[in-house]
Amino acid sequence: MPNTRRSEQLFERAQRILPGGVNSPVRAFRAVGGTPRFVARGKGSHIWDVDGNEYVDYIGSWGPLVLGHAVPEVLDAISDAAQRGTTFGIATELEVELAEIVSAAMPSMEMLRFVASGTEATMSAIRVARAATGRDLILKFEGCYHGHADGLLVQAGSGAAAQSTPDSAGVPAAYASQTLVAPYNDLAAVERLFGAYRRSIAVVIVEPIAANMGLVTPQPGFLEGLRRITTANGALLIFDEVITGFRVAYGGAQALFSVTPDLTCLGKVVVGGLPGGAYGGRRELMELVAPLGPVYQAGTLAGNPLAMAAGLATLGLLQKPGTYERLAQSGEYLAQGLWQVAQELETPIAVPQLGSLLTVFFRDGAPWSYRDAITADRQRYAAFFHGLLERGVYFPPSPFEVAFCSLAHTKEDLDATIEAARGALAAFRS
Ligand SMILES: *Cc1c(COP(=O)(O)O)cnc(C)c1O
């Protein structure tokens, strides 16, 4: 067993001053038990905790670090920008440059606005959609995460009524009632809701590849169907590409599937590991945003020069030929290897994978919806997670999150991970 004394001490201290000892809930290991490791540093595909234990990292800060940790080009860009001042609250050239590059990568984003997080991006895009359509209702999918704005922390109500309920304390029922919820990959449910709420639905927001209930990929025709139904009903379509943007393809899921949303939300990769995000879309929609139009939205640190510099450096490196092929090769190799080992040990798992994203579900068959996903065996996942951790592999501390490969992951890393999985699976089988 690795020594974790210092992490334990820090966790004690942290719990006295930070709720649950953390600044974002999944970090607290509640889904898998045990003491969360406190990280000291990262380099490439590896991280080291405060007790000196080394891990192959599959968190990648939950998505931003598609290049790996502490990449020299990104650090230089951040440091250069920092030397000139960390924030101004006055327009800078870097914001224009990054906006042009993002728009060129995703032509549906004719205009965009940088914000300080993915949460702000989705919240603001929805405000624009409501203003543009003059309607209030939004439609989201069960198991999709779009940040923690009130109207998006909503789950499907029980029973036949299409009544939604808050998914968090502190969200007024009146807010939840403005959000409709459908199962992922279920176009018939979307049609039914549009039938019931004809001219009241402003917008459908979706993760074009769902990566917050574990990985759940869209079935053929699902995204096309959303495009068709929204257009037919005068509603807008938002792709929340906070994870998928610059991750599954340079042009995001919209390039991969050739489906064009009205508005797109970005975060994570686009700002290269610094806090930030963006939303954008057709020019006439974005011209509704202040100061051009009546939709108010602002931010003290929006378009922060360090974040812009990190984004520019990251996207620059991602433009190199072969990037996305390499990411997909790593994802495929790992998913195949994990599945193979589980087969050999007669442990039923499914490992859905798309590009550098994958999830190990302890169930038969890849899930297509949240209801499917939550049937995965949580105890087994927790044992698997701790087995990997003891063997120097840091997988998501929750059965319903994705593991992220980066360009820094080597074949040796992936092989070591597969061998660690063999050890972990063999241990809890006996
Ligand atoms: C992470 C995430 C968000 C929220 O972004 P934050 O920067 O954490 O606020 C929104 N949507 C999706 C799909 C995400 O994965």
Helical spans, DSSP H, in 263-397:
283-286, 305-318, 323-344, 370-373, 378-390
Torsion of CA 35, 392, 49, 316, to 10 degrees: -120
Contact assessment for residue 335 and residue 349, using Cβ atoms and an 8 Å cutoff: no
Q: What is the pLDDT of residues 252-279, one digit of tens each?
A: 999 999 999 999 999 999 999 999 999 9
Between the CA of 84 and the centroid of ligand 1 the distance, in Å, is 29
In this prediction, residue 313 carries a pLDDT of 98
Catalytic residue status for 268: yes
- 32 φ, ψ to 5°? -120, -10
Cα angle 180-216-116, degrees, rounded to a multiple of 5: 65
Please tell me the distance from the alpha carbon of residue 72 to that of residue 296, in angstroms, as a whole number: 38
Q: What is the pLDDT of residues 40-51, one digit of tens each?
A: 999 999 999 999
Which atom of ligand 1 is closest in space to residue 243's alpha carbon? 15
Please tell me the distance from the alpha carbon of residue 323 to that of residue 101, in angstroms, as a whole number: 17
Q: Tokens 């999709």, residue?
A: 144
Contact assessment for residue 315 and residue 101, using Cβ atoms and an 8 Å cutoff: yes
The partner residues of 137 in beta bridges, in order of sequence, read 201
In this prediction, residue 157 carries a pLDDT of 78
Catalytic residue among 49, 262, 268, 370: 268
Q: Does residue 158 surpass a pLDDT of 80?
A: no
Between the CA of 123 and the centroid of ligand 1 the distance, in Å, is 11
Please tell me the distance from the alpha carbon of residue 61 to that of residue 41, in angstroms, as a whole number: 12
Please tell me the distance from the alpha carbon of residue 79 to that of residue 130, in angstroms, as a whole number: 40
Q: Which of 146, 205, 215, 264 to mutate to test the pocket of ligand 1 (most atoms within 8 A of CB)?
A: 146
Catalytic residue among 55, 58, 145, 370: 145
Between the CA of 147 and the centroid of ligand 1 the distance, in Å, is 5
Domains observed in the chain: 5-70+321-429 (3.90.1150.10), 72-318 (3.40.640.10)
